[in-house]
Amino acid sequence: MNIVVCVKRVPDTAARIKIQPDGGVDQAGLKYVVSPYDEYALEAALRLKEAAGEGTVTALSVGDAASAEQLRSALAMGADDAVLLKADVGMDGLTTARAIASEIAERAPDLVLFGVKAVDGDQQQVGLMAAELAGLPAASVAATVDVEDGAAVCHREVEGAVEVLEVPLPAAVTVTKGEKDPRYPSLKGIMAAKRKPLVEKDAAPGEARLAVRSLAEPPARPEGRVVGEGADAVPELVRLLREEAKVL
């Protein structure tokens, strides 16, 4: 079974995002990582390959040359090879999905896994768009992915419940945090990653049609107020919520 896992280079979630006067994100000291949900997708792919006892896991990223760093992380975790679809920054979800879909069409994997969303753009769209463009059946927000009788069986989070979906292969699935934590790369894995194939090609994204006009830091919230200490402060809090904030 051949699996493609899409990974994205994003700022570490612990990072403070500072906007420069020209509207760009201040890169000074900004650490980049594999988007956390993509690590869950990668972990799911590696487990499926291990369970099957055969097959390959390919890590795929769309981005500039720096994304090779995240692909090396994926290789260190255990992916067999990696592909970087080189594109300028400033793409939208659709162009990213197009680049991925054309690579999927070429490779024809059995399964394509995505993190449910990237934690930078927060769009939660690329996986399902790419599936649609590639003509693959898809499930989203899957906490678990198993393969049974030629279908991906997904436990997906829906409002207050879990829906069990069966998606015939080849399929695409977007993965959320499940019970299996992503593995840490071993030293051996990190050394091996240096020798694994990482192919770079030009992406075929078409033209982006979502144009970011400006980026700003969120407005500061007004200084909060400590109403008091302990349970005795409760009546005053409730009064403020009713009469001042008018939310009760």
Partner 1 sequence: MSNVLAVIELKDGAPRRVANEVVTAARALADALGGEAHALVVGPGGAALESLARHGADAVFDCAHEALADYHAEGYTQAVAGFLDGRDYGAVLFGATGQGKDLAPRVAGRLGLPLATDATALGSESGSVIVTRPVYAGKAIATVAVQATPALVSLRPNVFTPVEDARAGAVHSVPAAVDPGSWRVRRREVLGGSGDRPDVGEAPIVVSGGRGMQDPSNWSLLEDLRDSLGPNASLGASRAVVDAGWRPHSEQVGQTGKTVSPRLYFAVGISGAIQHLAGMRTAGTIVAINKDPDAPIFKVADYGIVGDASEILPRLAEEIRRVSAG
Would you say 162 or 199 has its CB closer to partner 1?
162
Rounded-to-integer distance, Cα 44 and Cα 55, Å: 14
List the end-to-end C-alpha distance of the chain, in Å, as a whole number. Answer: 55
Compute CA distances 109 → 58, 103, 155, 175, whole Å. Answer: 9, 10, 21, 17
Check: CB of residue 106 under 8 Å from CB of residue 68: no
Would you say 145 or 198 has its CB closer to partner 1?
145
CB of 235 to partner 1, least distance (A): 6
CB of 22 to partner 1, least distance (A): 14
Check: CB of residue 84 under 8 Å from CB of residue 197: no
Would you say 80 or 157 has its CB closer to partner 1?
157
CB of 177 to partner 1, least distance (A): 4
Q: Of 14, 56, 28, 40, nearest to 116 (Cα)?
A: 40
Would you say 13 or 186 has its CB closer to partner 1?
13
Rounded-to-integer distance, Cα 33 and Cα 182, Å: 13
Rounded-to-integer distance, Cα 47 and Cα 114, Å: 15
CB of 78 to partner 1, least distance (A): 22
CB of 220 to partner 1, least distance (A): 9
Rounded-to-integer distance, Cα 193 and Cα 171, Å: 27
Would you say 161 or 187 has its CB closer to partner 1?
161
At 114 the three-state DSSP class reads strand
CB of 230 to partner 1, least distance (A): 4
Would you say 121 or 196 has its CB closer to partner 1?
121
CB of 173 to partner 1, least distance (A): 11
Rounded-to-integer distance, Cα 221 and Cα 219, Å: 6
Q: Of 159, 110, 100, 160, nearest to 131 (Cα)?
A: 100
Would you say 77 or 165 has its CB closer to partner 1?
165
